[in-house]
Structures are given as C-alpha cells and as structure tokens.
C-alpha cells in the first residue's frame, strides 16, 4: 500500500491519530513472550498500514507452516511510519515483518543495520520475478537486500467524463490517452476545457502533477546517489515546477491541497475535472465521491512516460527473534502467489512481472469508474516504469517544495519567488 | 469553625509504649517523653515524607528521559540510526541562527497572546458567574467541562469543517452575507485566531473548574457585606474574587504558559502536518521540534529545541508571574 | 515571585477565611438573581462546548457519509445499534478489554494522584521545613520539561522494566503529578487557615492526622476538581498508551485507535467507539458530578 497522504490526517485525525504525538499501534513484547512461552511454536507479528490485502494469504501461510501470524494494521501511513521509527529507535517493539513505504524506504535503507539482509535467507532467487527497479530499490547502498517489493503505484489520469462531455471534449478513455501523449497536450486539453466556459477547474492540485512529472524522471529527483542536493541542476525538477506554474497561471487549477478537507469536499462536489491517479488513488476517489459519483469518473493513461508513485516493501527488523520464519513470511507474501492474492483482495498492483501479466490482473475492470479496464491500464504502466533514486532526504525536500507550489497555485507567491524559497528550504532540510 | 470537629477531641490512638522502657518510671511520664520524641521526629520528617512520592517517581521516570534528551542534543543524532558523532553545542548554535526557529517562536508567542489572555479572563468571569445563585447551576457547571471529555477526533473533524476554505461553515456563512471567505490556513493572523478558538474551546472549562474550586474558599459574607455597602457585581469581582483566588490565578497562568510553550495538538490538527502552513505561518516551536526530530531525522537538533523550550518556559513563567503581581499591586 | 513565597502571598490576601466567624448560609451566597443576559451567555457557552460532542454522537448514529456531508447532518440517524455491534465485535479493537482497562487505569491514577498530591501540596503550603521553597521550585521546574521528546527514552525504560503491554506502564509514572501538587498547594495557601493547623498541633495531632482530619476536608473542593480532571485526562490519554500498550491489552483510546484500520477511515465506527468511551465518563460525571460539584459548595469550609 502506498500513500504519501500528507494531509490526510486532519480529515482523518481520529481519536488518537498520531497526528498528535505520533505514535501508532505497534507491536510489543508480548509477541516475543508468546513465542517463547509456547516453546517450539513460532508466533510472528506482521505490521502493515492501509490495506495490503493479506488476510487470505496469512491464513494460507499459517496453514502451510503451522506458525501463527498476528497482523497489525495501522490506518494512516504517517502514524505507521512514526511508530515504526520509534520502535526501531527504542530497540524493541517492531514486528517480525514490517512494511516500508516508498518515501520512507530511503530513510530506512540508511539504517540498514536495523534490518536483516534477506540474501542470507535465500531471497536472492526471487530476483527474476520482480520488476527490475523494484528489486533494485530494495537494496541498501552496501548491497544488502533489505526489502522485498509488494505493490507499485503506476500512474494514470482520473477524469470526470460528464464534465468533458459538457465542455465538448472527447470522453472516451482510449481517445484521451491518445490525445494527451505529452504533458503539453494535456495542457492544451485543459485550455480547451477552460475556454468552453466551464465553472469547474481542470485539475485539482498542481502539486500532484508536479509530483507525477518528477516521478517520470528516471534516475534521480532531488538527491543524487551520494545524497547531494541536485534539485537545482536536475532539469526534470525545474521542468515539472514550471509546468505546475503554467497550470496555475492559466487558471486551470482548483488549488486544493491534496488530502485536505477541502480537497475531499471538492471531489464530492465535483469542482474539478481531472486528477492524477496512482493505482492506489482509486479507492480514495471512490470514497470521497461517494455513491453520487459512481459512473461519472473514468480512467485514462497518463501523459509522458509511465511513472510510479508509491508502493512498498517488506523487511525483517534485526529485533525479530524469529528472523528465519519472518523471512519465510516475507518471501511468501511477495511471491507470485502472494502478489496475486493481494491483487485479488485489495487491488494492489503487483511488482511481480509474472503476476502483472496474468489474466486476473490484465482483465480486471472497475465498475465504479465506468467499467474502466483499470487492470490493463495500470499493469501496462507498471511494466513501463523507470526506476528512480530518492535518498533519505527526499521527503523533507518534497514537503518543502510542495508547500511553495501550493502557495503558488493559491496566488500567494509568484513562481520565481516560490522556486527560490523552495530551493532555500530544501537546502536547509538536507543540511 | 466546624471543620475542626473532632480534631481536638479525638485522641491520638497510639500503640502502647514498648516494654523496654526503663522500669520504675511513672507510666504517664514515659508516655509523654516518647510522645515528644515522636512529635519532633514527626515535625521534622513528615514534610519530606509527604513530598517524597513525587520526587521518587520523578527520579525514576523523569530523570532518565531528561538526561537522555540532553545527551542527544549534544550530538548529530539520527532518530532511527542513532548517534553519528559528537557535535558539542553545534545544535544550539545553529538554533540561534535558524530563521525557522525564530519564526516558530513568534508564532508560539502570538498564539499565546491571542488565545490565553482572553481564555483566562473569560474563565474567571465564567467561574464567578457559576459560583453565584443560578438556576440549573449544576447543569451549567457540568456543561463547561464537556470539551475536555470530547475525543480529539471529534474536535479535529468539527473544527476542520468549520475552518475549511471552500466548504467550511464559517466561510459559507460569510459568503451568504456577501462577504469574502477567509483562507484560514494561508493568512497568519487568521490561522492564529482559528487555533486560538480551538485552544479556548478545549481549555476554557478546564480553567473555569479550577477557578470555581478556588472560589469555594472565599467566605460568602465578604460578598454580603460588600453588597450591603452597595458594591456593584463587577466591583465585587475585582475587589473580592480576584484577590482571593490569586494563588490559583498564578497557578493557571503558569500551567497555561507551560501548555502554550509546548503547544502542539491544536495546530497539528489544524495543519494536518507539522509544517504549520505552507510558509510556516503557524508552526509552533514544538511542531518544529517534532518536524526536525522525526521528519527530517535531526534528533539531535530536535532535542536541542526541546531544551530551549524548557528554558523559554522558565523565562516566560517568571515574566508572567511578575506581570500578574504587578497588576495586583496596581489595583 | 510570590508563587514561591507562600507565606507572603497568603498574608497578602486582604481577608483570609480567618475573618469569618459567622456561619455562612450554605449554598446561598448570591445576592442578586442573575439576569436573562447571563442565561443567554451561559447557554451560548454551553452550546459551543457541547456541539462537537453532540455531533460525534450524530455521526455514530449514522453512516460514514455523514462526515463528508455539507452542510453537516445535525440530527441523529438510526444506525447506532448496528455501529455499536460493529464496534464491540471488531477483533482488532478489543473494546471491552479497553473499557475495563481504562476504568482500572483512570481510577487508580485518580485516587493516587489526589492522595499523594494533597499530601505534598499541604506540606509545601503549610509546613515549615528546610528547603521547602527550593523543592517547590524544583517541582514547578520539572513540570516545565517538554514531554514530547521523552517517548523514546521512556520506551527504552519500559523495555528495561519489561512493562511493554503492561498496564503498569500507563499507571505508575502518573501516580503523582507536578500539576496536582502545585494546584493543591496553591489552593491550600488560600483555603486552609494556618490557625486550624496550629490548633490541631496544640491538641497534639500528628502531622498526618492533621492532614487527615483538618486539611483534607478543607482541600475538598480542589481535590474534587483535581480528581475529575485527572480521571478524564487518564481516560482520554492516548499518545503514551498507544506507544506502549499493544492491541491485546489496550486502554479504550488505544481500542478506538485500532478501530481505524484499513484504507478508509470508518468514522462512524470510530465515533461510535468514542461515544462509547465517553458515555461512562459522562455517566460518572452526571451521577457523581452533581454531587461532587454540588459538594464543592457544601464541603467547603463552613465558618
């Protein structure tokens, strides 16, 4: 599962959303005690967030191995990440197998010592079936295999076909995919939409488009492999930024900060026509738009070259008292069988090439989205993906840039100033 | 005074004098000597015994985190990765030059003024009102503490709906009167006000109840004679109520100072992250501390900020206490 | 710095309780009946205070959509029973264990806090001993230490004690609070006349007996409020419990947190949980609170 849900928290801050002090449900010593007290029996704790779709798979694993697995789920990723970090820092309390999300992964890889090298547990033989880049990104800089890939978040565009129709634009998803081959084309469609006199904005949040374009960069985004800030010299970042600025200047944006209350309400009220949709975003749209939005949304291909946003890995912390068995569980959940199970249970897009090519994935359609063949659209995207390097400072830099882009689209700050300020704060963030 | 009932009449029930007392001495005398010995011991050590539990608990659970945090603040320390090298006072030196820190301090103090001054004043008035003859008094008294019972989740969502830019209820009502909506999170002052509303909502009843308790110790006849002398209610409030509960006002001011300098929950809910606005318009010092320690993985710097927060609390508590004393001596 | 100079500030109050020899008319006081404006203002405060709580209940009686609805729903719906069943049956939440644990934690800490803090508050306000002011300043200073950074070192300690997942981890560290000591000390300055203590001394009461039969009744209003606040605080505490307690042995706030599973947040479920967690609190408050708050009046020193 996957999300950067920066902001999801106010909307969902719950009775104890760790938004507040930031610790979430977490494993505890009891798991280990249970393991010890029952002698030979192995009790494993699996920690994930959001929906990984592992319920069925866990029962199967328990049946096959005779181990017991306690699956602990945290709803929101920020809460999850904070609790996990806390337990890693404290030296105990983390699960035997833990999920690491993309943006969080880089930071955890730097603490490679906190996790077992899965090569030691025979995971090396799994290389073949993973997408190359997903496999590669599971390694620490010294070549240890820390994480086994779960899902990926290839990109698409969600759009309101009814609004397109109203604006006199094509509504067919294939035709649109064809029309907006490049981001420039996409902007042209937006201008047509605007000039048709529509009240609704063309996009929800220019920041999402900025993110999508940077994710198509390939190689590196803000930091190079030596973790030096290359934001200023990496043309892709500036191009993406300028594109976001143009969307704002042309008055194509509803200027809604993604995941904010207003953004959710905007989806429900239909105040914009398109948004970037990584595979995992569909659930969010469906929830926010509710029953009233059913059949109004559709999914088309993303402009530019593929692109990924999000996705996770499974890792085994060195705290685990049963690393052998934990590795077994991680390997099982990321096997072809595991990927398929997660897809069927939660529509999490596999990072296994084999699974991606299966009919169960390719033939999948989603009723809510006007029966769009989402399986095919996303699987195609996933097979095309280019890997990119993030580095542990990525999240901090991205948050800073995102904030200035948001102010830019609200008209609080002009693009040139926004870029300079973002750059300055990025430098501070990675100091 | 009725309260002393029994104090003088109920004799101390003491164990019989131990049998190893020197023989031959009159029983009564032995008893007195033992009593006075015990009395001296009691007077001397009881106070320490009474406050010992606090220090015992603090010694166990307070000292280690404190020293740990200080140790961390002297290092380059990654939250998950641990120590990366001794940094001496570098973290503190960086703090002095860090514009983000000064910005956060400004926000923290600004919100303090916007939120706390009215809150404590209103709480005092409210407590005074609830202390008087009133129909449904118990009902109103219980009512004020309801926010303190309410879950943070409900608070987060309700206030999120109130302060939304496009669909928030406040802006919707403003717009229905033909006014422009306010972008609560972009405008610095607006964001401070919104956060202050959340803080006051949650803590007004808390302080009211504390004041209310304190007002119970004010003898009623003070009011009676003041009323006979023709003092207005407001005059009674300033001349009787306020001076009488002054130690408690001190207490709430210090508690509020501590709470405000560590202000975290309300702005985090309002912001939905630790950033506190795109340009940190309402990022508080505690939020910055958390952002640094956890999000940016500068645990050492975060720890340094936490120690500076401590120093600032001490400074502002002293200033506030002096300020309150001054107000009193002026009247 | 009068906070740290108790005797002076006590003397500074224009008229201590000692000036009252006449019996007070109990629960009267009021010299003038409040006007309609007062009632209107109070009702507004009440409405403002109660709305989020009420609205939480509204969502708990409806579905998840009630959250996103604009304008929001303001009347209860009919799904409360169903939501309650879902809450209680949620396997991750262990809701009944949570309720029970919270009752244990909140009660234990409240009794302990009120007792130990009143002892310490009394000592610091009314007893003379070497180092008193320094110790008082020490307590106030320790309250000022920021708590947010303490989670990790506290977790390390809990691991050392093997208290992870154990209720002791959320009880023992909170059995005496600086807040309580300081609050009762300030109240004792103002509310416990020195003469009372002196006369008890003259009668040969031990310090503890003086505390028990003289100071305790005089402190009652403040102790009641401290008790209520402590109970609520510990009942509603979640940051530390979530960090240290596992899902198998939760407090009720941890249970509510664990209801929030899955991709989408089920607010109806969460708010049902929150309503459920608030009800006992309100009940305690309504049943005892009336008595307690009423008792604030009656229990106070009667001259």
The answer to whether position A316 is within a domain reads yes
Output Rg (C-alpha) for chain A, integer angstroms: 21
CA C48 to chain B, closest CA, distance in angstroms equals 8
* Domain spans of chain B, in order of start: 27-73, 98-152+195-330
Find chain B residues with C-beta within 8 A of C207's C-beta. 42-43, 46-47, 50
- Confidence band (pLDDT; 50, 70, 90) for C60? confident
pLDDT at C21: 37
Q: What is the tally of structural domains in chain A?
A: 2
Residues A222-254 have pLDDT tens digits of: 998 888 999 999 999 999 999 999 999 999 999
Q: What is the SS3 assignment for A73?
A: strand
Whether the CB of B273 is below 8 Å from some CB of chain A: the reply is yes
- Vertex C213, ends C207 and C215: CA angle to 5°? 70
φ and ψ of C166, to 5 deg: -110, 140
Q: What is the mean pLDDT of residues A359-365?
A: 90
The reply to whether residue A15 touches residue B152, judged by beta carbons under 8 angstroms, is yes
Find chain B residues with C-beta within 8 A of C255's C-beta. none
Q: Mean pLDDT score of chain A, rounded to an integer?
A: 86
Q: Which of B156, B170, B191, B289 to mutate to test the interface with A (most CBs of A within 10 A)?
A: B156
- Nearest residue of A to residue C243 by CA position? A23
CA B69 to chain C, closest CA, distance in angstroms equals 7
pLDDT at C56: 84
- The lowest-confidence range among B107-121, C17-31, C214-228, C272-286 is C17-31
Q: Are residues A276 and A251 in the same domain?
A: yes
- Confidence band (pLDDT; 50, 70, 90) for C289? low
- Nearest residue of B to residue A411 by CA position? B186
Whether the CB of B265 is below 8 Å from some CB of chain A: the reply is yes
CA B128 to chain C, closest CA, distance in angstroms equals 11
CA C252 to chain B, closest CA, distance in angstroms equals 11
Q: Are residues A35 and A94 in the same domain?
A: yes
φ and ψ of B67, to 5 deg: -65, -40
- Confidence band (pLDDT; 50, 70, 90) for A416? very high
pLDDT at A121: 94
The reply to whether residue C123 touches residue B51, judged by beta carbons under 8 angstroms, is yes
The reply to whether residue B153 touches residue A259, judged by beta carbons under 8 angstroms, is no
For residue B142, say if its preceding peptide bond is cis, omega within 30 degrees of 0.
no
Find chain C residues with C-beta within 8 A of A283's C-beta. 263-264
Whether the CB of C234 is below 8 Å from some CB of chain A: the reply is no
Cα C206 from chain centroid (whole Å): 30
pLDDT at B22: 47
pLDDT at B4: 32
Whether the CB of B150 is below 8 Å from some CB of chain A: the reply is no
Residues A65-91 have pLDDT tens digits of: 999 999 988 877 888 888 898 888 888
Find chain C residues with C-beta within 8 A of A26's C-beta. 242-243, 246
- Nearest residue of A to residue C272 by CA position? A15
Whether the CB of B65 is below 8 Å from some CB of chain A: the reply is no
CB interface of A with B, residues 249-268, below 8 Å:
256, 259-262, 265-266
- The lowest-confidence range among A234-248, A313-327, C194-208 is C194-208
The reply to whether residue C270 touches residue B153, judged by beta carbons under 8 angstroms, is yes
The reply to whether residue C256 touches residue A16, judged by beta carbons under 8 angstroms, is yes
Between residues C145 and A320, the one the model is more confident about: A320
CB interface of A with C, residues 121-140, below 8 Å:
none
Looking at CATH, the fold of the domain delimited by B98-152+195-330 is given as: MetI-like fold (1.10.3720)
CATH for A277: 3.40.190.10
The answer to whether position A17 is within a domain reads yes
* Pair of tokens at residue B14: 């003491």
Angle, in degrees to the nearest 10, between helices B299-330 and B246-261? 160
The reply to whether residue B275 touches residue A399, judged by beta carbons under 8 angstroms, is yes
CA B239 to chain C, closest CA, distance in angstroms equals 9
Of A16, A25, A90, the CB nearest to C247: A25
Q: Are residues A20 and A119 in the same domain?
A: yes
Q: Are residues A113 and A160 in the same domain?
A: no
The answer to whether position A3 is within a domain reads no
**Chains A and B: how many Cβ contacts under 8 Å?**
111
The answer to whether position A412 is within a domain reads yes
The reply to whether residue B69 touches residue C129, judged by beta carbons under 8 angstroms, is no
Residues A136-167 have pLDDT tens digits of: 889 988 899 999 999 998 899 999 999 999 99
Of B10, B219, B286, the CB nearest to C19: B219
Find chain A residues with C-beta within 8 A of C92's C-beta. 72-73
Q: What is the mean pLDDT of residues C21-45?
A: 63
Q: Which of A7, A23, A79, A261 to mutate to test the interface with C (most CBs of C within 10 A)?
A: A23
pLDDT at C260: 66
Find chain B residues with C-beta within 8 A of A395's C-beta. 295
The answer to whether position A21 is within a domain reads yes
Q: What is the mean pLDDT of residues A296-304?
A: 93
Whether the CB of B165 is below 8 Å from some CB of chain A: the reply is yes
Whether the CB of A387 is below 8 Å from some CB of chain C: the reply is no
- Nearest residue of B to residue C41 by CA position? B126
What percentage of residues in chain C have a pLDDT greater than 90?
A: 27
- Nearest residue of A to residue B161 by CA position? A261
All chains having 3 or more CB pairs closer than 8 angstroms to chain C:
A, B
The reply to whether residue C31 touches residue B286, judged by beta carbons under 8 angstroms, is no
Complex-level ipTM: 0.80
Strand partners, A149: A313
Find chain B residues with C-beta within 8 A of A411's C-beta. none
The reply to whether residue C191 touches residue B50, judged by beta carbons under 8 angstroms, is no
pLDDT at C265: 63
Domains assigned to chain C: 78-299 (1.10.3720.10)
pLDDT at A24: 29
The answer to whether position A374 is within a domain reads no
pLDDT at C68: 64
Per-residue pLDDT of chain B (331 residues; tens, 9 = 90+): 333 333 333 333 333 434 444 445 556 666 677 777 887 888 888 999 999 999 999 999 989 999 999 999 999 988 877 777 888 899 999 999 999 999 999 999 999 999 999 999 999 999 998 888 778 877 888 888 889 888 787 788 788 888 888 878 888 889 889 888 888 988 899 999 999 999 999 999 999 989 998 898 888 888 889 888 888 888 889 888 998 898 899 899 999 999 999 999 899 988 888 889 888 999 999 999 989 988 888 899 999 999 999 999 999 989 988 888 776 554 4
Find chain B residues with C-beta within 8 A of C25's C-beta. 220
Q: What is the mean pLDDT of residues C70-82?
A: 78
Closest CA relative to residue C64, chosen from C274, C266, C270, C273: C266
SS3 annotation, B36-77: HHHHHHHHHHHHHHHHHHHHHHHHHHHHHHHHHHHHHHCEEE
What percentage of residues in chain A have a pLDDT greater than 90?
A: 58
- Nearest residue of B to residue A406 by CA position? B278
Q: Are residues A352 and A340 in the same domain?
A: yes
Residues C206-258 have pLDDT tens digits of: 889 999 988 998 898 899 889 988 998 999 888 899 889 877 889 988 888 87
pLDDT at B17: 39
Handedness of CA B219, B224, B225, B227 (dihedral sign): positive
- Nearest residue of B to residue A425 by CA position? B100
**Chains A and C: how many Cβ contacts under 8 Å?**
123
pTM of this structure: 0.83
The reply to whether residue B296 touches residue A269, judged by beta carbons under 8 angstroms, is no
The answer to whether position A263 is within a domain reads yes
- The lowest-confidence range among A213-217, B80-84, C37-41 is B80-84
Q: Are residues A267 and A357 in the same domain?
A: no
Cβ atoms of A47 and B312 within 8 Å: the answer is: no
- Confidence band (pLDDT; 50, 70, 90) for C13? very low
Cβ atoms of C228 and C286 within 8 Å: the answer is: no
Q: For residue A58, what are the domain limits?
A: 8-152+311-366
pLDDT at A1: 44
Find chain B residues with C-beta within 8 A of A259's C-beta. 272
Between residues C298 and C227, the one the model is more confident about: C227
The answer to whether position A70 is within a domain reads yes
**Alpha-carbon distance B315 to B225, whole Å?**
41
- Confidence band (pLDDT; 50, 70, 90) for C37? confident
pLDDT at B327: 63
pLDDT at A245: 96
Residues A11-61 have pLDDT tens digits of: 333 323 333 332 322 233 333 333 343 446 899 999 998 888 899 999 999
């Amino acid at each position: 599962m996957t999300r950067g849900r920066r902001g999801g928290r106010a909307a969902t801050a719950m009775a104890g959303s760790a938004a507040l002090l930031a610790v979430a449900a977490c494993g505890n010593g009891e798991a280990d005690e249970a393991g010890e007290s029952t002698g030979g029996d192995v009790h494993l704790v699996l920690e994930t967030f959001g929906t990984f779709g592992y319920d069925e798979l866990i029962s199967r694993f328990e049946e096959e191995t005779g181990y017991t697995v306690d699956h602990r789920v945290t709803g929101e990723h920020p809460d999850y990440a904070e609790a996990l970090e806390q337990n890693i820092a404290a030296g105990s309390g983390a699960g035997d197998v833990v999920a690491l999300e993309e943006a969080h992964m880089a930071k955890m890889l730097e603490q490679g010592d906190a996790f077992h090298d899965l090569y030691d547990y025979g995971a090396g033989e799994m290389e073949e079936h993973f997408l190359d880049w997903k496999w590669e990104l599971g390694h620490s800089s010294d070549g240890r295999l820390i994480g086994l890939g779960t899902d990926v978040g290839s990109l698409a565009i969600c759009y309101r076909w009814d609004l397109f129709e109203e604006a006199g634009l094509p509504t067919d998803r294939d035709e649109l995919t064809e029309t907006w081959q490049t981001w420039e084309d996409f902007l042209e469609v937006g201008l047509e939409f605007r000039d048709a006199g529509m009240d609704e904005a063309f996009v929800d949040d220019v920041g999402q488009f900025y993110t999508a374009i940077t994710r198509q960069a390939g190689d590196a985004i803000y930091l190079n492999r030596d973790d030096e800030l290359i934001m200023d010299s990496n043309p892709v970042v500036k191009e993406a930024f300028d594109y976001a600025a143009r969307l704002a200047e042309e008055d194509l944006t509803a200027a809604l900060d993604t995941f904010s209350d207003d953004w959710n309400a905007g989806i429900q009220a239909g105040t914009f026509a398109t948004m970037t949709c990584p595979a995992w975003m569909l659930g969010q749209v469906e929830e926010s738009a509710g029953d009233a939005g059913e059949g109004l949304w559709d999914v088309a291909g993303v402009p530019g070259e593929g692109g990924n946003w999000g996705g996770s890995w499974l890792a085994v912390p060195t705290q685990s008292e049963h690393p052998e068995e934990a590795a077994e569980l991680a390997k099982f959940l990321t096997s072809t069988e595991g990927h398929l199970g997660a897809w069927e249970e939660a529509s999490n897009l596999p990072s296994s090439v084999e699974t991606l090519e299966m009919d169960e994935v390719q033939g999948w359609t989603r009723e809510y989205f006007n029966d769009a063949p989402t399986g095919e659209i996303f699987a195609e995207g996933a097979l095309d993906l280019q890997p990119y390097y993030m580095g542990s400072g990525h999240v901090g830099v991205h948050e800073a840039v995102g904030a200035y882009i948001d102010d830019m689209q609200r008209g609080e700050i002009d693009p040139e100033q926004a870029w300079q300020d973002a750059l300055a704060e990025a430098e501070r963030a990675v100091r | 005074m009725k309260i002393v009932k029994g104090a003088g009449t109920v004799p101390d029930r003491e164990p019989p004098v131990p049998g190893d007392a020197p023989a031959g001495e009159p029983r009564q005398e032995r008893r007195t000597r033992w009593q006075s010995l015990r009395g001296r011991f009691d007077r001397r050590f009881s106070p320490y015994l009474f406050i010992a539990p606090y220090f015992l608990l603090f010694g166990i659970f307070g000292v280690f985190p404190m020293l740990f945090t200080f140790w961390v603040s002297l290092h380059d320390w990654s939250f998950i990765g641990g120590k990366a090298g001794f940094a001496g006072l570098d973290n503190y030196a960086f703090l002095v030059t860090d514009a983000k820190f000064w910005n956060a301090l400004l926000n923290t103090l600004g919100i303090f003024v916007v939120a706390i001054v009215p809150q404590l004043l209103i709480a005092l008035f409210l407590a005074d009102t609830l202390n008087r003859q009133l129909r449904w008094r118990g009902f109103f008294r219980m009512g004020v503490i309801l926010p303190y019972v309410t879950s943070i989740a409900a608070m987060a969502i309700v206030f999120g709906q109130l302060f939304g830019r496009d669909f928030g209820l406040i802006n919707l009502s403003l717009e229905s009167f033909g006014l422009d909506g306010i972008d609560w999170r972009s405008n610095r002052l607006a964001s401070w006000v919104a956060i202050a509303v959340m803080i006051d909502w949650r803590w007004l009843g808390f302080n009211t109840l504390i004041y209310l308790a304190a007002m119970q110790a004010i003898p009623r006849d003070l009011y009676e004679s003041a009323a006979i002398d023709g003092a207005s209610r407001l005059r009674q409030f300033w001349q009787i109520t306020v001076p009488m509960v002054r130690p408690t006002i001190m207490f709430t001011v210090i508690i509020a100072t501590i709470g405000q300098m560590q202000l975290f929950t309300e702005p985090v809910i309002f912001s939905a992250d630790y950033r506190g606005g795109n340009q940190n318009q309402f990022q508080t010092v505690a939020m910055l501390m958390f952002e640094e320690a956890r999000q940016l993985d500068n645990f050492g710097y975060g720890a340094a900020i936490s120690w500076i927060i401590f120093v600032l609390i001490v400074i502002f508590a002293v200033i506030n206490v002096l300020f309150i004393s001054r107000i009193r001596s002026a009247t | 710095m009068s906070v740290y100079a108790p005797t002076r500030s006590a003397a500074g109050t224009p008229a201590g309780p000692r000036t009252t020899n006449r019996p007070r008319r109990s629960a009267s006081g009021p010299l003038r009946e409040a006007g309609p404006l007062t009632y209107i203002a109070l009702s507004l405060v009440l409405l403002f205070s109660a709305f989020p709580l009420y609205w939480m209940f509204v969502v708990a009686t409806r579905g998840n959509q009630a959250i996103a609805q604009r304008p929001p729903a303001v009347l209860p719906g009919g799904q409360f029973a169903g939501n309650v069943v879902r809450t209680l049956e949620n396997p991750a939440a262990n809701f009944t264990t949570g309720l029970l644990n919270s009752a244990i934690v909140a009660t234990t800490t409240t009794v302990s806090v009120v007792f130990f803090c009143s002892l310490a508050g009394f000592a610091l306000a009314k007893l003379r001993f070497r180092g008193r002011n320094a110790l008082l300043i020490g307590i106030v200073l320790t309250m000022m230490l920021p708590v947010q950074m303490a989670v990790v070192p506290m977790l390390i300690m809990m691991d050392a004690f093997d208290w992870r997942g154990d209720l002791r981890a959320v009880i023992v560290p909170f059995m005496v609070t600086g807040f309580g000591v300081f609050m009762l000390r300030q109240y004792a300055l103002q509310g416990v006349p020195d003469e009372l203590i002196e006369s008890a001394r003259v009668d040969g009461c031990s310090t503890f007996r003086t505390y028990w039969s003289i100071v305790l009744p005089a402190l009652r209003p403040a102790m009641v409020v401290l008790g209520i606040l402590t109970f609520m605080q510990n009942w509603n505490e979640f940051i530390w419990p979530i960090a240290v307690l596992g899902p198998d042995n939760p407090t009720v706030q941890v249970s509510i947190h664990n209801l929030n599973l899955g991709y989408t947040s089920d607010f109806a479920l969460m708010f049902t949980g929150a309503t459920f967690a608030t009800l006992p609190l309100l009940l305690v408050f309504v049943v005892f609170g009336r008595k307690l708050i009423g008792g604030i009046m009656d229990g106070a020193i009667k001259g």
